Amino acid sequence: MERRTLTDPVSKPLLATLRGERQSVAPLWLMRQAGRYLPEYRALRADKGGFLALATDPEAAAEVTLQPIRRFGFDGAILFSDILMVPWALGQDLSFGVGEGPRLEPALVGATLDGLTRAPARLEPVYATVARVAAALPPATTFLGFAGSPWTVATYMVAGRGSKDQGETRRFAYNDPVAFGAIVDAIVTMTIDYFARQIDAGVEAVQLFDSWAGSLSPAQFERWVIAPNAAIVAGLRARCPGVPIIGFPKGAGGKLPAYAAGTGVDAIGLDETIDPDWANAVLPEGLPVQGNLDPLALIAGGEALASAVARIVAAFPTRPHVFNLGHGILPDTPIAHVEQLIATVRRSA
Task: For 46-57, write each residue's pLDDT tens digit.
Answer: 898 889 999 999
To which H or E segment does residue 293 belong? Answer: strand 289-293
Written as one string, the DSSP assignment of 64-100 is: HHHHHHHHH--SEEE----TTHHHHHTT-EEEE-TTS
40 located within any domain = yes
The CATH code of the domain that includes 40 is 3.20.20.210
* Closest among 46, 37, 107, 33 to 76, alpha carbons compared: 33
Mean pLDDT of 271-291: 98
The Cα 292–Cα 314 span in angstroms is 12
pLDDT of amino acid 118: 96
Give the confidence band of 349 by pLDDT, cuts at 50, 70, 90: low
* Tens digits of residue pLDDT in 99-128: 678 999 999 998 999 999 999 999 999 999
State the catalytic residue, choosing from 19, 37, 45, 103. 45
1 located within any domain = no
pLDDT, the chain, mean = 95
3 located within any domain = no
Residue 43's domain comprises: 13-346
To the nearest 10°, the Cα dihedral for 206, 209, 210, 212? 180
State the catalytic residue, choosing from 19, 37, 75, 82. 82
* Phi then psi dihedrals of residue 71, to 5 deg: -75, -40
- 9 has pLDDT over 60: no
148 located within any domain = yes
The Cα 70–Cα 136 span in angstroms is 11
Active site residue 82: yes
Active site residue 4: no
- 98 has pLDDT over 90: no
* Tens digits of residue pLDDT in 147-191: 999 999 999 999 999 988 999 999 999 999 999 999 999 999 999
Quote the pTM value.
0.95
pLDDT of amino acid 313: 97
- Percent of the chain whose predicted confidence (pLDDT) is above 70: 97
Written as one string, the DSSP assignment of 230-245 is: HHHHHHHHHHSTT--E
The Cα 262–Cα 13 span in angstroms is 27
DSSP summary character for residue 225: I
8 located within any domain = no
284 located within any domain = yes
State the catalytic residue, choosing from 4, 22, 36, 161. 36
Active site residue 200: no
- 84 has pLDDT over 60: yes
4 located within any domain = no
Active site residue 239: no
Calculate the alpha carbon distances from 169 to 142, 155, 224, 331, 342 in Å: 35, 5, 11, 28, 39
State the catalytic residue, choosing from 127, 156, 194, 259. 156
227 located within any domain = yes
Active site residue 36: yes
Residue 278 is which amino acid? W
Helical H runs in 264-323? 276-282, 295-300, 302-315
Give the confidence band of 348 by pLDDT, cuts at 50, 70, 90: confident
* Tens digits of residue pLDDT in 226-261: 999 999 999 999 999 999 999 999 999 999 999 999
Greatest alpha-carbon span in the chain: 55
* Closest among 19, 39, 17, 35 to 27, alpha carbons compared: 17
Total structural domains within the chain: 1
